Amino acid sequence: MKTGRIGKFTLALAGVIIVMFFIRAWLVPTIEQILITTPDIKENPQLSNQVPDFSSISDIPTKKQTFFDYMTPAVKHQNAIISAERKFLIVILNNLRNGQPLTDADIFKLQKLTQKYRYQVKKFDLITLTPLLERVDTLPVKMVLIQAANETGWGSSRFATEGNNYFGQWCFSKGCGLVPQSRTPGLNHEVASFDTPEDSIAAYLLNLNTNSAYHLLRSIRADLRAQDIEPTAEELVFGLLHYSERKHEYIDELLLMMRHNKNYLAGL
- Judged against a pLDDT cut of 60, whether residue 30 lies above it is answered with no
Q: DSSP for 143-200?
A: HHHHHHHHHHTTTTSHHHHHH--SS--EE-STTSEE--TTPPTT---EEE--SSHHHH
What value does the mean pLDDT take over residues 220-240? 98
pLDDT of residue 174: 82
d(CA 25, CA 3): 33
Residue 257: CATH number of its domain: 1.10.530.10
Q: Mean pLDDT throughout 35-50?
A: 48
Per-residue pLDDT tens over the stretch 129-145: 999 999 999 999 999 99
pLDDT at 91 over 90: yes
Residue 233 lies in a domain: yes
Task: Provide the sign of the torsion angle of the four alpha carbons 60, 179, 238, 250, taken in this order.
Answer: negative
The answer as to whether 15 is a domain residue is no
Q: Report if residue 35 sits inside a domain.
A: no
Give the orientation angle of helix 197-210 with respect to helix 141-152, to 10 degrees.
110
How does residue 35 score in pLDDT terms, banded at 50, 70 and 90?
very low
4: in domain: no
Q: How many residues does the chain have?
A: 268
In a domain, 32, yes or no: no
Comparing C-alpha atoms, which of 182, 151, 176, 179 is closest to residue 166?
151
Q: Is position 44 within any domain?
A: no
Residue 138 structural domain = 61-268
In a domain, residue 27? The reply is no
Number of domains in the chain: 1
pLDDT of residue 120: 95
pLDDT by residue (tens digit) across 8-25?
Answer: 433 443 443 333 333 333
Q: Is the pLDDT of residue 41 over 50?
A: no
Express as a percent the part of the chain with pLDDT over 90.
Answer: 72
Q: Distance between CA 16 and CA 70 in Å, rounded?
A: 53
Domain annotation covers residue 172: yes
- The answer to whether the beta carbons of residues 41 and 77 sit under 8 Å apart is yes
